[in-house]
Structure 1
Amino acid sequence: MDKDKIIQTLILLTQAAGVSGDEQEPAAVAAGCLEPYVTRLHRDLSGNLIGFKEGAGGLEAPSLLIAAHIDEIGAMVTKIDRGFIRFTPVGGLDPRTLLGQAVEVHGRQRLKGVIGARPPHLLTRKERQQELKIEDLYIDLGLEQEQASRQVQVGDYISLDQPLLVMAAGDCLAGKALDNRSGVASLIFCAAELAEVRHYCHVYFVATVQEEVGVRGAITASYGLAPDLAVAVDVTHGLAPGIPEEDGFELGGGPVIGIGPNFHPVLVEQLKVLAREHHLPYQVEPVPGPASTDSRAIQISREGIPSTLLSIPLRYMHSTVEMLNADDLLLTGRLLGYFARSIDLSLVEGLKCI
């Protein structure tokens, strides 16, 4: 799978609307992409998409879980106010990024809308100095109250509407839901790599649901599958003006390996060794507290699952112009593949000796 193919995969994934709790569309896209590379594929009762790739080790072989969440931030209808739609966030919507954005309201049919607010000309001086709040915003569908009430009801989902942009140099991409469809794309890339080689361990590729509202899919998937070890794949902050170097990572600098209490030191070291051995650039992120990713849920599932975290640097997180470098996505998928191929019984036994 080359860069052009992975970019096309990412376009398909990001254009599917999948707000937390309503991930059917992107899960169907991911299933179509994963199916050629796995032994079997299903969705569990929580909605997680699970692809199983059988290893060569037979019954005694350990199992590896690779998880990337497939849901995205969005909103939900709370009120129809004279034809205008009031809404509440689903996940971490930033009001600063919303004014003027195009959206789709998932009513009886998909309805195009735009997010509006009172224009600055009609605000008092004090109001112009205040921070914009969700309560100040509404969605304009261009419909009257009666028309809107026939098409929309309280509880309908609202997704952001933004195509994926290929930037000038061709390496960087910007759009919505790259947190974390990029992780899902790297998971698919890894599956394609493993389809061409022999590996000892069994691998579960899991596109988890509802991460943005409490890592819920990771909780149920890790409990149900009970793997011997796991890697979560997500995004982290990319360097940009105003972001301190210790809080951001270079786009194009390779995947970011998490270090901290959530992450098993043997697995962290294994990722570093493999990256150096195969001449893959990587970066390191200290995470002293609980990680705000699926890795947090996986680590404390059942009696504990040794786990680690790979992150893709991403600028403008939780906006419609999230930006990444496609090379980081490919490097993440490749490192995941080398990691899966390195797992044997001796490595898993060594996880108990720290």
Structure 2
Amino acid sequence: MFAEEVPAGADLGVRLGGLALANPVMPASGCFGPELGPLLPVGELGAVVTKTLFAGRRSGNPSHRLTESSHAMLNSVGIPSPGTGGFLRAVLPAYRAFGVPVVVSVGGLRVEEYWEVVEELGGAHIDALEINVSCPNLEHGGLAIGTDPVVVERVVRGVGERTGLPLLVKLTPSVTSIGEVARAAEAAGAAAVTVCNSFPGMAVDPRGRKAVLGNGVGGLSGPAVKPLALRLVWEASRAVAIPVVGCGGIGTARDVVEFLVAGATAVQVGTATFTRPYAMAEIVRDLAVLVADLGASGVGELIGRLSTESAKSSETSESSQEMMCPAPSMYV
């Protein structure tokens, strides 16, 4: 399935503000749970990110919640949540048992709910928080909180006043300027921004004349969105001085390197874990080899090293062009 241990050599360590990671690979929120522990050596990951936590219990959206194509997945899970009480009792201890940094994803349907969750987490053993500002704002017609830089700054600043933990802010792609929102998060004290959440999409059943997903619309993820996410990571990294965590269509070590070169300091793996639960461990092990093959002593030498030269450079080899062609099916 994959090598027995991470090859020695290249330095994979990175820092997200005050959070030190052994390597830049972690799961995207909602795409990993303690139940996957037996399927991969979680201790080899840079960190684990929990599913988004709300103050109260949430059951999520009605079925169908998932549908897929050859290069993408569309989901409308609705972020079920055990509430902070259930999370602290039963969920957090399971994440802590993996022995790697735990990043708790925090959501809210109102600005104040983010603050409530953070206050209720109190002195729990947590290494960082990821503030998911892609949640719909019920106080402003259901638009994602992350579409308004002013609201983003208010949310993040309020969270920062209630905790000393490093704050990652997960941004929505549904904005005109990802840089403007990233700057708002930075101004409010974010240690890093995660770019980005899934893209809004829809699937239709032509025979039934209805939407495939029970909620009508959902979030598109997987290899098909990687070029879109890469562009947003590049734009965000040019707009802020804080680290960027890349997310969107990552399924191989090469994908990770592409995001690093575009400006990401770390990455999150999401949809790939649905088809290959062991994908993240495989990526970490392949990454150590690939970084060395690229002549770098560590990932730090690759971050933000995107050349400004024309992409039509004659140095582009046929093999590189072949590697950029899409696979016939998702992450195969």
- Regarding TM over 0.5, the answer is no
Higher relative contact order (CA 8 A, sep 6+): 1
More strand by share: 1
TM-score normalized with structure 1 length: 0.28
TM-score normalized by the length of structure 2: 0.29
Larger Rg: 1
